[in-house]
Amino acid sequence: MTKKMFKNYMVNFAVVSIIFVILSLMMSGGILSKYYQGIIIFILINIILASSLNLVTGFLGQLTLGHAGFMAVGAYASALTSIVLKSIISDLPLLLVSLFVGGVSAGVVGIIIGIPALRLRGDYLAIITLGFGEVIRVIINNIEITGGAQGLTGIPRIASFKYAYWIAVVVILVLYRLTHSKQGRAIKSIREDEVAAEAVGVRTTYYKVLGFAIAAAFAGVGGGLYAHYIAFLDPNTFNFMRSVEILVIVVLGGMGSLTGTIVAATILTILPEALRGFAEFRMLLYSFMLILMMLFRPQGLFGTGEFKWQGIYDRTLKLRKALMNREKKEAVDGSTRGE
């Protein structure tokens, strides 16, 4: 790790920590009510889900419509684990173990589905992943261990803001490091030109399945957080429209931008709540805003770029240096004219 990279990480960690402290103080001080705290937790869950999908859709370039299925697998595996272990383990270890089981379960299902599905491309891949997502939902809806159509109850509600925040930070960090690693460059090469990537020795099938499995695993983690915050699971929550909502966040933020995903997840989680005052026209306004966005900014808010706090700091230093040089030049010119 270079000195500049380490400095960037330290700046980002400081900003993330400051945001956490500010939000924690606002919650403890009663400035943010339980309602707003719930919205923030849902934003964090959507960030995890959309960022994981962005790995497949944005960085790998594969359109999938079954992400809610992996969220469901992770949610139910995590919830069942915590129900069994809740009388043995305390809250934080219980949450971590449950999320680990949920993530691994969703990742394994992702590999099983990804190996045959990723042989297809484009619309065909979208259709088959849509089908697999619905199959997962129907299976969950019809087996006894998950509670069937009545839903699963008895889940300990242990996913607080503190836990959700730092888990989301870790997920973003892992995805960022992955996309900027050797494996990440291989994944991006498949997005740009799969035939050319394979011609130069990139194992396209391996990296496609790898990206698909990692995305599914993190979707499972997001599903686990959702289960431990809501404390009730209804199989109909994980339907086709849920997958579309996650995809819309990715497209709005920019396919290939984790920063864009964070901003878009925040906007699209708050927007439906903010428009509740226009109950009759809420969904119409919501859809109209999305249409305008796609017309005037089809590449999304950030495109494939990333927002960097260190970049702002560097530009500020350059501007300050330029102003100081200008003042010195003006002072020298003034003294010359005086002579």
Average pLDDT over residues 292-300: 79
Question: Could you tell me what percent of the chain has a pLDDT over 70?
Answer: 88
Average pLDDT over residues 186-215: 90
Average pLDDT over residues 119-139: 87
Does the pLDDT at position 324 exceed 70? yes
Q: What integer pLDDT is reported at residue 337 of this predicted model?
A: 57
Rounded to whole angstroms, how far apart are CA atoms 104 and 126? 23
**Long-range CB contacts for residues 288-296, cutoff 8 Å, separation at least 24:** 290/248, 290/252, 293/252, 294/251
DSSP string, 197-250: HHHTT--HHHHHHHHHHHHHHHHHHHHHHHHHHH--B-GGGGSHHHHHHHHHHH
Q: What integer pLDDT is reported at residue 314 of this predicted model?
A: 60
Task: Categorize the per-residue pLDDT at 104 as very low, low, confident or very high, splitting at 50, 70 and 90.
Answer: very high
Average pLDDT over residues 285-308: 75
Average pLDDT over residues 77-104: 92
Q: What integer pLDDT is reported at residue 89 of this predicted model?
A: 86
97 exposed, middle or buried (CB, 10 Å; 0-12, 13-18, 19+)?
middle
Are the CB atoms for 48 and 171 separated by under 8 Å? Answer: yes
Rounded to whole angstroms, how far apart are CA atoms 91 and 73? 21
Q: What integer pLDDT is reported at residue 307 of this predicted model?
A: 67
Average pLDDT over residues 138-149: 88
**Across 3-7, 32-36, 297-301, 307-311, least confident range:** 307-311
Q: What integer pLDDT is reported at residue 20 of this predicted model?
A: 94
Q: What integer pLDDT is reported at residue 112 of this predicted model?
A: 92
Q: What integer pLDDT is reported at residue 109 of this predicted model?
A: 93
Average pLDDT over residues 306-318: 62
Does the pLDDT at position 315 exceed 80? no
Mean pLDDT of all residues belonging to the chain: 86
Query: Which of 217, 95, 207, 208 lies closest to 157 in space, CA to CA?
Result: 95
Q: What integer pLDDT is reported at residue 26 of this predicted model?
A: 92
Q: What integer pLDDT is reported at residue 163 of this predicted model?
A: 94
More confident residue, 133 or 282: 133
Does the pLDDT at position 313 exceed 60? no
The domain locations on the chain are: 33-306
Does the pLDDT at position 309 exceed 60? no
Q: What integer pLDDT is reported at residue 116 of this predicted model?
A: 87
Q: What integer pLDDT is reported at residue 144 of this predicted model?
A: 86
**Across 151-160, 256-265, 308-317, least confident range:** 308-317
Task: Categorize the per-residue pLDDT at 42 as very low, low, confident or very high, splitting at 50, 70 and 90.
Answer: very high
Does the pLDDT at position 83 exceed 60? yes
Question: Could you tell me what percent of the chain has a pLDDT over 90?
Answer: 40
Does domain 33-306 fall into CATH 1.10.3470?
yes
Task: Categorize the per-residue pLDDT at 98 as very low, low, confident or very high, splitting at 50, 70 and 90.
Answer: very high
Q: What is the pLDDT of residues 215-266, one digit of tens each?
A: 999 999 999 999 999 999 999 889 888 898 898 889 888 888 888 899 989 9
Does the pLDDT at position 100 exceed 80? yes
Rounded to whole angstroms, how far apart are CA atoms 275 and 148? 33
More confident residue, 278 or 259: 259
More confident residue, 290 or 160: 160
Q: What integer pLDDT is reported at residue 99 of this predicted model?
A: 95
Cα distances (Å, whole numbers) of residue 264 to 51, 200, 276: 10, 35, 19
